[in-house]
Chains A and B, each alone.
Chain A
Amino acid sequence: GAVVSQHPSRVICKSGTSVKIECRSLDFQATTMFWYRQFPKQSLMLMATSNEGSKATYEQGVEKDKFLINHASLTLSTLTVTSAHPEDSSFYICSASAAVGNNSPLHFGNGTRLTVT
């Protein structure tokens, strides 16, 4: 089945530094990837839609200059949390689909636990 790999699984960083999270589709090409954020015991909130070769589309309330998304190839999207603060500590999860639209199943990575000290 379709596999989405996310790296790293855990990261701890100091306030003010930047952290990059990678999301790869291992056995399929994904023109669209999605980035979600999940706080403890809460639901997944969509942050942005990442399209290969074009700018990401951010959801309302998500700072695009803080959460930089790059989707340079059909198998890789990256999320960079810039100038991280403790309130950015969360579980970040990416997802990808092998086909755009048409309700194709979304496959999720195993998430990245970010802790900002």
Chain B
Amino acid sequence: QQQVKQSPQSLIVQKGGISIINCAYENTAFDYFPWYQQFPGKGPALLIAIRPDVSEKKEGRFTISFNKSAKQFSLHIMDSQPGDSATYFCAASMNTDKLIFGTGTRLQVFP
């Protein structure tokens, strides 16, 4: 019940394309869903986060779509750039700072 499932494990996208990463959770008590970006040898950096009272949140080229009934949420990266190549983690928490992370998606954007 504490798991957050993430797919795909790896993703290759052409420059300018849309990158889509999906996550699913089981625990309906989760009420905070952030996405983190991690470059090799670095700690994760918060990209964007959403709460279940909204179905979509957009910040620049990054959009989170949230489907409460399906217990799924996804990250869309529009106009993907080579600099976006990194590992992306979704996460979830229950009104605490104790995040449960997904398994990660390694994104490669080719020029």
Given known contacts A6-B43, A44-B89, A113-B41, is B98 in contact with A49 (CB within 8 Å)? Answer: yes
* B95/A101 in contact, CB under 8 A: yes
Residues of A within 8 A of B104 (CB): 41-43
Residues of A within 8 A of B96 (CB): 101, 103
* A103/B32 in contact, CB under 8 A: yes
A110 lies within 8 A of chain B by Cβ: yes
Residues of A within 8 A of B95 (CB): 101-103
Residues of A within 8 A of B54 (CB): none
Chain A, 85-108, contact with B by CB distance < 8 Å: what is the 0/1 string? 000000001010100111111111
Q: Name, among B31, B36, B44, the residue most crowded by chain A CB atoms within 10 Å (CB to CB).
A: B44
B65 lies within 8 A of chain A by Cβ: no
A-B contact count (CB 8 A): 62
Give A101 to B32 CA distance when docked, in angstroms.
Answer: 11
Q: How far is the CB of A2 from chain B (nearest CB, A)?
A: 10
B residues 79-103 near A (Cβ < 8 Å) are 89, 93, 95-103
Chain B interfacial positions (CB closer than 8 Å to A) = 31-32, 34, 36, 41-46, 49, 51, 89, 93, 95-104, 106
Write 27 A-B pairs (CB below 8 A) sorted by A numbering. A34-B98, A41-B106, A43-B89, A43-B104, A44-B89, A44-B101, A46-B98, A46-B99, A93-B43, A93-B44, A95-B97, A101-B95, A101-B96, A103-B49, A103-B51, A103-B96, A105-B34, A106-B46, A106-B97, A107-B46, A108-B36, A108-B45, A110-B43, A111-B41, A111-B42, A111-B43, A113-B41
Given A43-B89, A49-B98, A97-B97, 8 more pairs with CB closer than 8 A: A6-B43, A41-B104, A42-B104, A43-B101, A44-B101, A46-B99, A104-B97, A111-B42
Chain A interfacial positions (CB closer than 8 Å to B) = 4, 6, 32, 34, 41-46, 49, 93, 95, 97, 100-111, 113
